[in-house]
Amino acid sequence: MILLAIDSSAKSVSVALLSDGKLTGECFINNGLTHSRTLLPVIESLLKQSDISVDNLDALAVNTGPGSFTGVRIGVATVKGLAFSGGKPCAAVSTLESMAYNFTDENCIVCCVMDARCNQVYNAFFKSENGIISHITDDDALSIYELKEYIINKILPLNMTVYLAGDGAEIVYEKIKDLPVILPAENRRYQRAYGTALAALYNNTFIEPDKLVPFYLRPSQAERELKSKNKEN
């Protein structure tokens, strides 16, 4: 299977190409430019350098959230557009789960966190053991205080090394660095399309492109403001 995976759920953007589970090409950009400017050129460049066309792809995968509302929509729309013409199957992957695949070479707990603003984080906990990633919790949105309490009461008693991952890792670390948790280097901290691809292959839940939709843990700010305005009226 030739699989193209995409992540545009946060500030960085990445694209990975796998052939029968082997990584054959990957590009990661974290330069602050909008995904509408960078994503398609990166895909085009990676496919060209790999001598692969869209027609050659067997399937696609994308992080569908949580994350930036605009970034997630761009990623999902791009994958649907590429997949529709050839009716190629797609995999919807949790952004948080894709981060955990940066740690398959260790036996540890991965606390995946993304900045959700207002002192909150999107989060999920995973166990990495003998190369297998398994869920400890589902994706959720918690305050950093609630996250710290969960780590103290539920995670530390497991007596495993705990890593923080995601674009919210540094923010969380500053609040909980009195706990025995590790803030890894940036090359392991952020989600990558390679992790998206591995999660898609492991879960093997491919769907038709028209069924691919973003996954949000909470409404966007615009939706929340509209709801509040409607209540006032």
Q: Are 196 and 93 in contact (CB under 8 A)?
A: yes
Per cent of the chain over pLDDT 70 is: 93
Burial of 53 from C-beta contacts in 10 A (0-12 / 13-18 / 19+): exposed
Residue 230 pLDDT grade (very low, low, confident, very high; cuts 50, 70, 90): low
From residue 106, alpha-carbon distances to 27, 39, 131, 183, 202 in Å are 24, 31, 7, 15, 17
Question: Comparing C-alpha atoms, which of 155, 149, 137 is closest to residue 217?
Answer: 137
Domains in the chain, CATH or no CATH each: 2-96+191-229 (3.30.420.40), 102-189 (3.30.420.40)
- What's the confidence (pLDDT) of residue 85? 83
The C-alpha atoms of residue 89 and residue 67 are separated, in whole angstroms, by: 23
Encoded tokens for 141: 């949105």
Name the average pLDDT for the chain: 93
Question: What average pLDDT score do residues 137-154 get?
Answer: 97
Phi-psi region of 40 (alpha: psi -120 to 50; beta: other; left: phi over 0): alpha
DSSP 120-175: EEEEEEEEEETTEEEESS--EEEEHHHHHHHIIIIIGGG-S-EEEESTTHHHHHHH
- What's the confidence (pLDDT) of residue 217? 83
pLDDT of residue 77 exceeding 60: yes
pLDDT of residue 135 exceeding 50: yes
pTM of the full predicted structure? 0.92
